Structure 1
Amino acid sequence: MDVLRRLCGHIRRKGLRATLAKIRRMYIFAHQELLWMERDLVSPVPPHSLKPYPPLRMLKITESNASAFTRYFGNRVGVMAELASDGHTGHMHIDDNGDAVAFIWGTPRDYFDRHYYRCRFPVKPGEFFEFGGELTRAYWGTELSVDLQLRLWEAMALKGCRKVVDVCDSSNVPALKLHLRMGYTEQQRIMNIYTLFGRWRFYRETRYSGSRLAALGKTSRPSVTATAA
């Protein structure tokens, strides 16, 4: 009965077509396209109109301080400790109460994502793979989304990296716009993830020509206020 109640509630909120599409993705077949993006670590970030945020303290994530994620990312505490134990570089920004409100990870070696996508992302010499960046809702639309990445880029540059690479789900428009706002460019590569019956996963890399994000780029430019001469 509880399943039926949730199903009816989803139909009322999203409509029958959207509900059937979700059922198909969850239980029959799903296809995700992850677009590869890249950026050098020295070019300045383009101007933006993001909001300021209150002072926060940045810490390197370790196995011993992963408990700071309990309040806002309670289901990630174990994952954060595990990533730290694997030797990846993670930064968290904590508030006055000692609670993590944002985090991001990077690694200069091939990364196997066993927590979400469950596939391997290859990394070339001189690059590092950026992953897992997230902010609590209170910090959405603030400069923290920029500073979070800049601090990681600085740390990875000290390790000898010259370029950051990552992947972004083609359906995640806010994340794609953030990438464009940060000055990322497309590698014209796609990691395709196919899920069959919610259980089996298959992976295939494809390439494309041109730009998949040109239209988004036009809407991601910061607003400019005209002034009289």
Structure 2
Amino acid sequence: MNALKKLSDHIKQKGLRATVGKLWKHYVFLHEELLWMERDLVSPVPPHKLRPYSPLRLETITPQNAVAFARHFGDRVGTMAELASEGYTGHMYLDENGDTVAFIWGSTRDYLDRHYYGCMFPVKPGEFFEFALEQIPAYRGTTLSVDFQLNLWKAMADQGCNKVVDICESHNIPALKLHIRMGYREQGRIMNIYHLFGWRFFRETRYSGSRLDALRKPAPSPVPAEAS
């Protein structure tokens, strides 16, 4: 009865078409496209108009200090400790209460994503794979989204890396715009993830042109010179 009530409430709120679409994607078939991006670690970040944020403390994530995730990311404490124990480089940002409000990870080796997508992301020599970057809503739209990447890039450069690579869901417009803001470029590769009746299948494809151009802000038109 509980499930039927939830279904009925969802239909009332979202409509029958949206409800059927959600059920189809959850139980029958879903296709996700993950766009591969890359960037060097030395080119300056393009100018932005993000707002400042109150001071935070950066700490490297360890199995011991992962408890700081409990307040805002309570379901991630075990995952964060596990990633740290496996040797991945993780940064977390703590507020004045010692609670994690943002985090980001990097891997210098092939990364098997057991916690979310379920596939392997290969990493070439000299590059690192950036993954699992997140911040609580209060810090979205601030320069933290730039700073936590720059700080990780410096840490990975100290480990001998000269390039960052990552993936972004093709439907995640805010994340795609963040990549544009940070100066990433497309690799022209897509990791396709297919969900079919609970099974997952993976396939890499390629594309030409740009999937991001439509999201870029048009350049301002030049002001015509006044006639003398």
- Provide the TM-score with structure 2 as the length reference: 0.94
| Larger gyration radius, structure 1 or structure 2 | 2
Gaps of 5+ in 2: 224-228
Give distance in 2, aligned partners of 1:193 and 1:174.
21
Give distance in 2, aligned partners of 1:31 and 1:56.
38
Show the 5 A alignment for 1:16-165.
Answer: 16-165=16-165
Give distance in 1, aligned partners of 2:81 and 2:137.
23
Amino acid at match of 1:91: H
Identify which range, 17-26 or 87-96, moves more after superposition: 17-26
Deviating beyond 3 angstroms after TM superposition, the runs of 4 or more aligned structure 1 residues are: none
Query: Which residue of structure 1 aligns with residue 226 of structure 2?
Result: none
- SS of alignment partner, residue 171 of structure 1: coil
- SS of alignment partner, residue 218 of structure 1: coil
Q: Deviation string for 1:99-149 (max 9, x for gaps)?
A: 000000001110000000010000111100000000001111111111010
Query: Which residue of structure 1 aligns with residue 193 of structure 2?
Result: 193
Structure 1 position 15, deviation (Å): 2.1
- Provide the TM-score with structure 1 as the length reference: 0.94
- Tell me the number of residue pairs that the alignment of Structure 1 and Structure 2 aligns: 221
Quote the sequence identity (%): 68
Query: Which residue of structure 1 aligns with residue 208 of structure 2?
Result: 209
Give distance in 1, aligned partners of 2:104 and 2:166.
12
Structure 1 position 213, deviation (Å): 1.0
Structure 2 residue 20 is matched with structure 1 residue 12 = no
Gaps of 5+ in 1: none
Structure 1 position 19, deviation (Å): 1.3
Structure 1 position 5, deviation (Å): 1.8
